[in-house]
Amino acid sequence: MQSYAITTAYLVATALFIFSLHWMSDPKTARRGVFAGIAAMLAAVLATWAGNKIVEHWWIIIPIAAAIIPGVWLSMVPLTAVPQRTALSHAFGGLAAGLVGTAEYYYWFSHEPEQLSAFRMTAIIAEVILGYLTFTGSLIAAGKLQEVKWIPQRPWTYRGQNFVNLGALALAILLGVLLIVRPTTGWAPWVFGLVIIPLALNFGWMMVMPIGGADMPTVISILNSYAGLSAVAMGFVLDNKLLITAGALDGSSGLILSIIMCRAMNRSFFNVLFGAFGQIAAGAKEGERKSAKSASAEEAAQMLGMAGRVVIVPGYGMAVAQAQHRVRELYDQLSKRGVDVKFAIHPVAGRMPGHMNVLLAEADIPYDRLIEMEEINTDMPQTDVVLVIGANDVVNPAARHDKTSPIYGMPIIEADKARAVLAIKRSMNPGFAGIDNELYYMDNTLMVFGDAKVVVGDIAKQLTGHAGH
């Protein structure tokens, strides 16, 4: 009877996990998807606990209770810090998988060596390598997103680094194969604990350090995929079908998201992981550069107020300045004047997938006003003013025509095709790709310099005094 109840709970949890992913793909049902995921995880934990004699393992309440405190703290971070919180979640998941695999191996080696079959050892090696590299890689990703001083935002590279990194991974896999063949020999535990695990831990941080900070959205989704795969391996080790299913859903969704983001940047996984993208020096056409024209907040307000159609392009600068609520005020003022306002969302704007969507949702921007890149580009020629807030490479026209540019071929939001462009930026410093943005020097572009939160707030105030036609 107990086994039947646990199997039923696992089946229900599996269905809820699937529905959770499905519902979270649409903003209208996203909240329902979150609750479905919570219910699925709760059912999975309780069923697993019950299946392992809950009364005999009452002490598990202690670490669960202790984990609530940091869990609540992590849930209360501002939305601008969600990317690094997500990276930390992946780190914890990877560490958990790695520790479980480690504990299972040493327990079976000491007490039940017959359990260490070739299949189970293959799962353990995969679980440990993927888990530990996800742990250290995600910690570095979180540090880059948090802009920790001792972790460089630009790619940290040295001669032959790819050979060193791949060599470390290859050695860990090779030794893992040896352990699969000879899992119970006297030297096996030493190789497992003193060589394979350190190699996996080192590969994780060595893999992420050469990747620039603005590539972290793709890195996070790739690490998410690794964490899911480590959970799948853990499911095989523990013979837990729900863990296999949940890990497969996690891993496949992370992989699909990574593919979508790589396509959005016109780049490959290999280029993201090993390309050291972001080291390119500022453009070589220094002598041909035109001077950028600037405008004040008052002048920007006049242009926006007289427009019929306005497209706002949010970027990482908006997130850093936490300007989303000021953007909402600007949206309200423009709407009162009868201006048709839309938001252009680039797939890799910000520091995590959907970063701009989440920030604008926090400010209660109507979701039907958020338009994907492909759709909004068709409206650009009929747009009176495009307001670029902290975005850079995702609006750079060089991606369309400059074959020497590191962003050549990357789909962009074609802001330059609008009648006029206002670009809010702190300075003329280049973006992540290390090149100047041609948009800033075009005849139809005006720069509005300053902190995005302050500038947008000033523009909204100017409009407040002139609301209505």
- What is the residue type of 315? G
293 falls within a domain: yes
For residues 442 and 346, membership in a common domain is answered with: yes
Residues 6+ apart with CB under 8 A from 93: 134, 227, 230, 231
CATH number at residue 420: 3.40.50.1220
Q: What six digits make up the tokens of 279? A: 């080291």
For residues 407 and 354, membership in a common domain is answered with: yes
9 falls within a domain: no
For residues 345 and 445, membership in a common domain is answered with: yes
For residues 451 and 329, membership in a common domain is answered with: yes
Q: Buried (b) or exposed (e) across 35-58, using 16+ Cβ within 10 A?
A: ebbebbeebbeebbbebeeeeeee
Catalytic choice (215, 393, 436, 458): 393
For residues 156 and 99, membership in a common domain is answered with: yes
For residues 145 and 169, membership in a common domain is answered with: yes
53 falls within a domain: no
Model pTM? 0.80
177 falls within a domain: yes
For residues 270 and 291, membership in a common domain is answered with: no
Per-residue model confidence as pLDDT tens for the chain (469 residues): 567 888 899 999 999 999 999 998 887 888 899 999 999 999 998 888 876 665 567 777 888 888 888 888 888 887 777 888 888 999 999 999 999 999 999 999 999 999 999 999 999 999 999 999 999 999 998 888 887 878 876 767 778 888 888 899 999 999 999 999 999 999 999 999 999 999 999 999 988 888 766 677 778 888 889 999 999 999 999 888 899 999 999 999 888 888 887 877 777 767 666 655 555 444 444 445 568 899 999 999 999 999 999 999 999 889 888 899 999 999 999 999 999 999 999 988 877 777 888 889 889 999 999 999 989 999 999 999 999 999 988 999 998 988 888 788 888 999 999 999 999 998 887 766 567 899 999 999 999 999 999 999 999 999 987 544 4
Tell me the residue range of the domain where 302 lies: 286-464
- What is the residue type of 124? I
52 falls within a domain: no
Residues 6+ apart with CB under 8 A from 232: 243, 244, 247, 248, 251
Among 233, 251, 274, which residue terminates a domain?
A: 274
Burial class from Cβ neighbours inside 10 Å (0-12, 13-18, 19+) for residue 340 reads middle
Q: Does 402 participate in catalysis according to the annotation?
A: no
For residues 411 and 439, membership in a common domain is answered with: yes
39 falls within a domain: no
* DSSP letters for 67-131: HHHHHHHHHTS-GGGHHHHHHHHHHHHHHHHHHHHHHHHHHHHHH-GGG--HHHHHHHHHHHHHH
